[in-house]
Amino acid sequence: MADLQTNTSQGEAYFTDPESASEMARLTKQARLLTRAMGGPLDETIKQARIIDVLDVACGPGEWALEMASLYPDKQITGIDISQLMIEYARFQASQRSLFNTHFHTMNILQPLDFQADSFDFINIRLIASFMFRSSDNWPRLLRECVRVTRPGGIMRLTDCEWFISNSPRTEKLFGLCTRAIHLNGNTFSQDGRQLAVTPMLKRFLRNAGCHNIQHKAFAVDCSSGAESHPGFYEDMVVFLKLLQPLVISTGIASKDEVESLYTQALEEMNAEDFNCLWYYLTTWGENTE
């Protein structure tokens, strides 16, 4: 089946509403969970002294950028996102926390970035596969822009994930419908929709952009019952799986009644004592050679 969407507008490509207050709250919690799982906003192997100017691409409500600004007051942190709602929220949070080394701008990252060449020492890009069609040149075009605005020797870091793996039957069935719908929407590199298959691509994206000294690190978030991350994961799923329902239904792979029934049953399974689930991530970074 052909991709259901062929436009290149970031806002239209995103399969949940970037101006949704529910999505903003979900992304804030998800960002905290992910940063904690990664051990902090920066990997310990990255030479932090060389980093002064930082760009957070598709920053959402700004959670990562705000934490960076708080932990490293000597650095200048800039966040960009297509959502005016999220940028306004990030600016408000920065003001409330007196984080004057932060700057947030509304920007479509699928268009040329509104920055001068050689502006940043570090570019952070997390979880953008949701609006990067596999059939387009979105990835190489964005990374070419990142190379342009990164100083020679600066670092570009990509972090993305694969879908959750659990031991619960209804949860797995719903997860399977979701990944299939996302695949039909054109947002995976999988051949059959069983996986997102974006993490195997990250190193190649950086290599094709001309980066060198490319490294990667894999990690997993334990979302099982009783795990520290389970409450945050459950709250994420309550919102995220609801937001995905229109996409699943629009593909025709399941009816509205079937999706809603599976949603209810999956949430019940996630609250069971024997629920086990892992969420895999890969972070990959390299140095700009230009």
Amino acid sitting at position 156: M
Question: Exposed, middle or buried, 234 (CB in 10 Å: 0-12/13-18/19+)?
Answer: middle
Structure tokens at 276: 């086990």
Q: Environment class of residue 88 by beta-carbon count within 10 Å: exposed (0-12), middle (13-18) or buried (19+)?
A: middle
pLDDT at 25: 86
pLDDT on residue 46? 82
Is the Cβ–Cβ distance between 116 and 92 less than 8 Å? no
Q: Parallel, antiparallel, or unpaired for β 165-166 and 277-287?
A: antiparallel
Q: What pLDDT does 2 receive?
A: 29
Residue 144 amino acid letter: R
pLDDT at 9: 52
Instruction: With CA atoms as reference, report the closest residue to 115 among 98, 131, 123.
Output: 123
What pLDDT sits at residue 14?
53
pTM of the model: 0.89
Is residue 220 within 8 A of residue 280, CB to CB? The reply is yes
Superfamily designation of domain 10-287: Vaccinia Virus protein VP39 (3.40.50.150)
What are the pLDDT tens digits along the chain (290 aa)? 223 333 345 444 455 666 778 888 888 888 988 998 888 999 877 878 789 999 999 999 999 999 999 999 999 999 999 999 999 999 999 999 999 999 999 999 999 999 999 999 999 999 998 888 776 789 999 999 999 999 999 999 999 999 999 999 999 999 999 999 999 988 889 988 888 999 999 999 999 999 999 999 999 999 999 999 999 999 999 999 998 999 999 999 999 999 999 999 999 999 999 999 999 999 999 999 86
